[in-house]
Structure 1
Amino acid sequence: MSEAITLDAVSKVYGKGRGAVAALREVTVRFPRGGFTAVMGPSGSGKSTFLHCAAGLDRPTSGTVRLGDTDLSRLSETKLTELRRERAGFVFQSFNLISSLTVEQNVTLPLRLAGRRADAGRLAELVRRVGLQDRAGHRPAQLSGGQQQRVAIARALISDPEVVFADEPTGALDTMTAREVLTLLRQTVDELGQTIVMVTHDPVAASYADEVLFLADGRVVDTMLGPTAANVADRMIRLGAWNR
């Protein structure tokens, strides 16, 4: 299986001299196409920096990041913006919907920003897939938190991205709604062949992934295939003790 994303010896340092802080240290990881990977670690382990570098939202201090065969370090800021808009999808904890736009308008926003028209059939299918076919004309204020996150997932998928990056996508949701959203993400992998990289602090959320990547002190310290919530929680407890 070919890689969707490759990080080779990626380090990220903030500041200079004695005040420098290394958020990532020589991280090398490969994410397979059609895989669902969760990224976990104690607070300050480098999870957010990892996601930002992998997604082209931030540039590493050293090392290389490739999306498919594209080396992100060789791209200008304009080209990076185009790449994120056309080849990556994003789902955030806070939904980030435009309050004045309807469900359909929010979903198609990335295409409109790119000057492209949405395929009516694909739009209808995505809205149906996320269970909002009866809410297509509603605005965010008329939707529950779970429904808003479903809109965000459809928006992330509308451009048929190579990778969807999810940053704590269930952090603002109750337990039952979170499970519905995670099931939807799992289905996009199983049924659509989507690649997902998800940062989470929740062992239950991580159990929906194929693999869990554990970070501590800016380094990859462990991986787990076929995770269960109990196994992930146990590893996080031990990892937290190790990190202290």
Structure 2
Amino acid sequence: MDAVSKVYGKGRGAVAALREVTVRLPGGGFTAVMGPSGSGKSTFLHCAAGLDRPTAGTVRLGGTDLSGLSETKLTELRRERAGFVFQSFNLISSLTVEQNVTLPLRLAGRRADAGKLAALIRRVGLQERTGHRPGQLSGGQQQRVAVARALVSEPDVVFADEPTGALDTMTAREVLTLLRQTVDELGQTIVMVTHDPVAASYADEVLFLADGRVADTMSGPTAAKVADRMIRLGAWNR
């Protein structure tokens, strides 16, 4: 992201969600994005993922400048080169686990490689649940389906928006461990927005936002260090 700004509204009612944000998110790394409420976390993720267009500045995914793409090309890019994991799972209730996982491939007109699909489903621990529907799964299992769906197209980057926000502590740790393993074992790039210092501690680096700007970064985070930084950020941002 290079000098990315995002303003909602016009005139006196305009709100600047991002203010000239310049940052490079490393490939093969796990980056957590944190900040006080209203700091611009969700807008940051939406602009980085091509879900929203910045008001100014440029966003590149690999060597592709997203600002020059049509809506159709942006949709194709998100489908083929980006994976998404959301707090609310966003599974289709009428589809089985396997059908939900392979949905991005079907939308792209591609067939799943049977061997790769089986390995992916084993990786998320759902090999005994492939024929189940979301309503027959626990919250943690549903999020594992969502993670597998995000990974099935072998994307350049997975964007995760509060992926553990709807889960209990134990289940959240299982999902975070799964995300960590995809980085360590598969070289997957993950960008995760979270409000939870424990979740952020699973990342390689934490990017702190405040008032739409990058306020700080932290490498090798621990939950205690992240919590302390968030407390100070919150006081500074009031």
TM range (shorter): over 0.9
**Cα distance in structure 2, aligned partners of 1:32 and 1:46:** 20
Q: CA deviation at 1:160?
A: 0.2
Name the residue aligned to 2:237.
Answer: 243
Q: CA deviation at 1:91?
A: 0.2
Deviations for 1:172-207, whole angstroms, at most 9, x for unmatched residues?
A: 000000000000000000000000000000000000
Name the residue aligned to 1:159.
Answer: 153
**Cα distance in structure 1, aligned partners of 2:195 and 2:209:** 11
Q: CA deviation at 1:79?
A: 0.1
Q: CA deviation at 1:208?
A: 0.1
Is residue 2:186 matched to residue 1:180? no
Equivalent residue runs for 1:94-243 within 5 Å:
94-243=88-237
Q: CA deviation at 1:84?
A: 0.0
What secondary structure sits across from 2:25 in the alignment?
strand
Is residue 2:60 matched to residue 1:69? no
What secondary structure sits across from 2:24 in the alignment?
strand
Q: CA deviation at 1:236?
A: 0.3
Q: CA deviation at 1:113?
A: 0.5
Q: CA deviation at 1:170?
A: 0.0
**Cα distance in structure 2, aligned partners of 1:180 and 1:122:** 22
Is residue 2:23 matched to residue 1:29? yes
Deviations for 1:54-96, whole angstroms, at most 9, x for unmatched residues?
A: 0000000000000000000000000000000000000000000
**Cα distance in structure 2, aligned partners of 1:186 and 1:126:** 15
**Cα distance in structure 2, aligned partners of 1:16 and 1:99:** 40
Q: CA deviation at 1:46?
A: 0.3
Q: CA deviation at 1:28?
A: 0.3
**Cα distance in structure 1, aligned partners of 2:114 and 2:70:** 33
Q: CA deviation at 1:125?
A: 0.5
Q: CA deviation at 1:123?
A: 0.7
Q: CA deviation at 1:121?
A: 0.7
**Cα distance in structure 1, aligned partners of 2:153 and 2:116:** 10
Q: CA deviation at 1:214?
A: 0.2
**Cα distance in structure 2, aligned partners of 1:189 and 1:94:** 23
**Cα distance in structure 1, aligned partners of 2:26 and 2:177:** 20
**Cα distance in structure 1, aligned partners of 2:13 and 2:114:** 53
What secondary structure sits across from 1:117 in the alignment?
coil
Aligned sequence identity (%): 92
- Runs of 4+ in structure 1 deviating by more than 4 angstroms, as ranges, are none
> What are structure 2's unaligned runs of at least 5 residues?
none
Deviations for 1:14-45, whole angstroms, at most 9, x for unmatched residues?
A: 11111110000000000111000000000000
What secondary structure sits across from 2:31 in the alignment?
strand
Deviations for 1:98-155, whole angstroms, at most 9, x for unmatched residues?
A: 0010000000000001111111111100100000000011000010000000000000
What secondary structure sits across from 1:108 in the alignment?
helix
> What are structure 1's unaligned runs of at least 5 residues?
1-6
| Count of residues in correspondence between the two structures | 238
**Cα distance in structure 2, aligned partners of 1:136 and 1:191:** 23
**Cα distance in structure 2, aligned partners of 1:217 and 1:91:** 25
What secondary structure sits across from 1:32 in the alignment?
coil
Q: CA deviation at 1:8?
A: 0.1
Name the residue aligned to 1:3.
Answer: none
